[in-house]
A and B are shown apart, each in its own frame.
Chain A
Amino acid sequence: MSEQPRPEIAVDGFPRRSRYAWGDLVTSADHKDVAKILMVGSGGFLFLAALELLLMRLQLAIPENTFMEPVTFNRVLSFYGATSIFFFALPLIMGIFLYVAPLQVGARGTALPRLSQIGAALWVMGSIVLYAGFLWTPSEAGVNPLPPLSELAYLGNNGVDAWLTACGFATLGFVLIAVDLSTTLRVDRAPGMAWRRAPIFAWTAAVGSWLMLFIGPILLAAFTMLMVDRNYDGTFFINGAGGAPILWQHLTWIFYSGAYMLVLIFAFAAVAEIFAVFSGNELFNRNAVMGSIVAIAVIGTLAYLQNMYTAPIGIGWKYFGMLMALALIVPIGLVFFNLIATLNGGALRMRTPVLFAIGALVSISLGLAAEMQQSLVGAAFYLKGTTDSTAATSFALIGGAVFGGIAALHYWFPKITGRAMGEQLGRLSFWITAVGTLVAFVPMALAGWEEGQVVDAYKFFNHTGVNFYNMLASIGVLILFVGVVLILINAVASVKGGARAGHDPWGGDTLEWFAISPPPVHNFDVQPDVRSARPLRDIRAAIAERAREVEQRAARESQPVA
């Protein structure tokens, strides 16, 4: 049975569908092409998000600054919120999942490729809608447009509608991609690849897709309700007409908390792959990490109530939020323990992906420790709404999406393009980004904790004791911006000019390194039988064994018969 020949697809000599590479890219339903659209696009939005953050920090560099009008600042703030979450972090993560996970499980494509294609197209449409707002009136409703402020009575122009449409399109796109990805990982794994042998990154892609399938529709429901309120005389969030403004907070915080957890588990999984490969070890305890990732996704989403400690809800609900937030210590602690223990006894090669992976862990540890402090209900009675909470979230999410995402990009770049990203520039960009992150967000945390500086404000007042902290934070963001630009320059320059990397530059153990770089449309000519969690190592061992046999036979045959 197992000896039956498998049908093979020949690709050499197939005509390309279009004369132009971009024509192929936009009409292709191949998961790798769709993922490329998401990854390249999110790179552009990383630049825009960093630029918007820099603009806001320029305004906040000195007290009572008049660099920006209040309205302009609020518009940039609204752009920044949408760009960093819906157009940088989530598409980058979904893109890398969509590119790598099917390859890792030895699939020859995805199960429902057109869904991913439509998803990416929706995301592109969303980004156009958002930035088309520049030409008319952008949203002024802030990072999370809380009703009643985002209702028609308070913001009468179409900015909020455009914001909701843009982020709604993007979220719908992520949900469709999640359908495709979760189905693929369920049904299209290579023969022999049970879940206990699946790579940790593919497992996390499956968990992340299910998480998106749960939280995405909740956010879409909230957006739809607000659109109905604004355009069709709805009263979902209008007090006194049967609606409740607090409902919006419940619905959107479920999504934002879930998305936060998605960023974290993505970064943990990418770091796990990188630490294992570059230290020549296996993950210290696979089962513990696999279970912890599921626990983080579930418990972290339930912990959404920790964002509503000052809201008018019962104290019991606040204690429940605290219970869930503190329960996260166990799975997150186990993941950290196993990631660090993976290095033990290894021979770690300090290449750029490892540097970014270490940066991700350090930054996430700072952010989550500060979040832990704020998950204590009483502490949040003061710290919530101060720049201390912004700094905590920024450390965790920049650690996850920027450091973790760029670590993953450095690691899989040779697979995607066939060329490695520049090592020198990579190191330089890492150190600049790391210094920038620390200089930007440590003073911000101190300003929030010591003096209670509030978030999202277009100015702060003189003589409130925060002048020095804010100047330092602005300098830090400037450094961070330079680092981000260097990362992007490195990526763009390496697509054509990087050193040729071969099919398996790092000596990986998982199946994506079995495909050629860049992989053909059908990914693998031969789908290997998987017999352990390190299939490529098995294949390398089998080849070495075979070579030895051949050598020995040749040696025997060449000996003169006695």
Chain B
Amino acid sequence: MTPHSPGTGQINTLIWIGFFAALIVVVVINLGLFGAIGRNRGGRGRAAHQTRGPRGLQYRVAGALSGFAVVLFVLGIIFTSNATSTPQTTSGGLTSYHGKPLEGPLEVKATGQQWLWRYDYPNGAFSYYKLVIPVHTAIELQVESTDVVHTWSVPDLAPKVDAVPGKDTRIVFRADAEGEFWGQSATFSGQAYASMRTAVEVVSPERFEEFITEQQKNIHKGQEAAEAIDAIKVKELAEFEAAEEAHAKAEKSAGEAEAGVTTEETEEASTKE
């Protein structure tokens, strides 16, 4: 991962702290183990001479281990709370929106469904797969799911967060670089889970306004087109039904005229068989 937001910067630092702690643990254990094996190999008539430590030794070891654990715990809390602290919109970010000044973070809704993410913007525009956000702007992402549990994850920009149906989870993050960042759902969600990817495109505030206005327009256009098609369909259906009705009526009247003959004929045929 390459962090591009204040939160993920903290996460990355904590990962490196954890890595060096893990490295210390692995090195100490394995040096001790292989050192002890090397020094105490049997053979050549060597006999065992048990060594005994005083009880205080156990307390000293436990004390050292506790100190190590406490340091990690404190660092873990510091960096985690930094990573989850709410970032503010900085200069160069989106300050006004549709002419109105933007107070607080920009709210976007992310909805997970098998196997796609849908993003709803405040002006009613929406997009699938790709989220477009302005740079240097605090984004409050409301993560939801309409079916099973998913995990929204774009490593370079924000912490992972589970989308659990019925739970309304919010994270606030700020992207500090323009560009396109990939993401992939990280909770097993069925057949096409491996393809449940997403992308976040970070753009300048001006481009963002353009995008959602255009998106909204396109959606309206699309809806109008769909409605037009619908209207045509409704009209055609009505015409078709009217024609059907007329046809049925004509048949009925014709049938009534022939009724006597046809029914008798069929009945005769069936009794013969």
Enumerate chain A interface residues (CB-CB to B < 8 A).
70-71, 74, 77, 140-143, 146, 148-149, 154-155, 239-240, 244-246, 279-282, 284-285, 288, 310-312, 315, 318-319, 322-323, 326-327, 329-330, 333-334, 336-338, 340-341, 343-350, 358, 361-362, 365-366, 368-370, 372-379, 381-386, 449-450, 452, 454-461, 464
In the complex the two chains form, is A372's CB within 8 Å of B148's CB? no
Instruction: Give B71's nearest chain A residue, CB to CB.
Output: A326
- Min distance, Cβ A277 to any Cβ of chain B, angstroms: 11
For the complex, what is the distance from the CA of A337 to the CA of B23, rounded to whole Å? 17
In the complex the two chains form, is B48's CB within 8 Å of A280's CB? yes
Given contacts A148-B165, A312-B167, A456-B188, contact A373 B58 (CB under 8 A): no
Chain B 134-175 residues near chain A, CB threshold 8 A? 147-149, 151, 153, 155, 159-162, 164-167, 169
In the complex the two chains form, is B190's CB within 8 Å of A381's CB? no
Instruction: Give B22's nearest chain A residue, CB to CB.
Output: A369
For A315, the chain B residues whose CB sits under 8 A away are: 80, 84
- Min distance, Cβ B143 to any Cβ of chain A, angstroms: 9
In the complex the two chains form, is B160's CB within 8 Å of A372's CB? no
In the complex the two chains form, is A382's CB within 8 Å of B15's CB? yes
For the complex, what is the distance from the CA of A319 to the CA of B83, rounded to whole Å? 14
In the complex the two chains form, is A377's CB within 8 Å of B76's CB? yes
Given contacts A143-B188, A454-B186, contact A245 B48 (CB under 8 A): no
In the complex the two chains form, is B53's CB within 8 Å of A341's CB? yes
**What total of A-B pairs shows CB separation below 8 Å?**
252
- Min distance, Cβ A341 to any Cβ of chain B, angstroms: 7
In the complex the two chains form, is B11's CB within 8 Å of A323's CB? no
For A373, the chain B residues whose CB sits under 8 A away are: 15, 18-19, 21-22
**Residue from the list A149, A344, A458 in contact with B194, Cβ < 8 A:** A458
Q: Chain B 24-47, CB within 8 Å of chain A: the 1/0 string? A: 011001101100110111110011
In the complex the two chains form, is A378's CB within 8 Å of B11's CB? yes
In the complex the two chains form, is B165's CB within 8 Å of A239's CB? yes
For A149, the chain B residues whose CB sits under 8 A away are: 148-149, 188-190
Please give 9 more A-B residue pairs, beta carbons under 8 A apart, in addition to A288-B58, A312-B164, A384-B160.
Answer: A140-B191, A155-B190, A239-B166, A246-B164, A330-B65, A373-B18, A377-B76, A378-B83, A459-B194
In the complex the two chains form, is A322's CB within 8 Å of B159's CB? no
Measured as residues with beta carbon below 8 angstroms from the partner, the interface class of chain B is 35 or more
- Min distance, Cβ A531 to any Cβ of chain B, angstroms: 18
For the complex, what is the distance from the CA of A280 to the CA of B43, rounded to whole Å? 12
In the complex the two chains form, is B53's CB within 8 Å of A285's CB? yes
In the complex the two chains form, is A345's CB within 8 Å of B160's CB? no
In the complex the two chains form, is A362's CB within 8 Å of B72's CB? no
For the complex, what is the distance from the CA of A240 to the CA of B18, rounded to whole Å? 39
Chain B 72-114 residues near chain A, CB threshold 8 A? 72-73, 75-77, 79-80, 82-84, 114
**Residue from the list A338, A372, A456 in contact with B21, Cβ < 8 A:** A372
For B68, the chain A residues whose CB sits under 8 A away are: 329, 333
For the complex, what is the distance from the CA of A361 to the CA of B26, rounded to whole Å? 10
B208 contacts A by Cβ under 8 Å: no
**Residue from the list B49, B153, B167, B191 in contact with A345, Cβ < 8 A:** B49
For the complex, what is the distance from the CA of A246 to the CA of B49, rounded to whole Å? 55
- Min distance, Cβ A503 to any Cβ of chain B, angstroms: 22
- Please name 7 pairs of A and B residues whose Cβ atoms are closer than 8 Å in the assembled complex, sorted by A: A70-B194, A310-B162, A347-B47, A373-B18, A381-B11, A381-B159, A454-B186
For the complex, what is the distance from the CA of A140 to the CA of B114, rounded to whole Å? 15
For the complex, what is the distance from the CA of A333 to the CA of B72, rounded to whole Å? 15
B50 contacts A by Cβ under 8 Å: yes
- Min distance, Cβ A205 to any Cβ of chain B, angstroms: 23
B10 contacts A by Cβ under 8 Å: yes
For B10, the chain A residues whose CB sits under 8 A away are: 378
For B62, the chain A residues whose CB sits under 8 A away are: 330, 333-334
In the complex the two chains form, is A340's CB within 8 Å of B48's CB? no
In the complex the two chains form, is A361's CB within 8 Å of B33's CB? yes
Given contacts A345-B51, A382-B160, contact A372 B40 (CB under 8 A): no
In the complex the two chains form, is A337's CB within 8 Å of B61's CB? yes
For B198, the chain A residues whose CB sits under 8 A away are: none
Given contacts A143-B188, A310-B162, contact A336 B42 (CB under 8 A): no
In the complex the two chains form, is A372's CB within 8 Å of B25's CB? yes
In the complex the two chains form, is A372's CB within 8 Å of B149's CB? no
In the complex the two chains form, is A452's CB within 8 Å of B191's CB? no
For the complex, what is the distance from the CA of A312 to the CA of B47, rounded to whole Å? 59
- Min distance, Cβ B51 to any Cβ of chain A, angstroms: 4
In the complex the two chains form, is B72's CB within 8 Å of A346's CB? no
In the complex the two chains form, is A279's CB within 8 Å of B25's CB? no
- Min distance, Cβ B213 to any Cβ of chain A, angstroms: 32
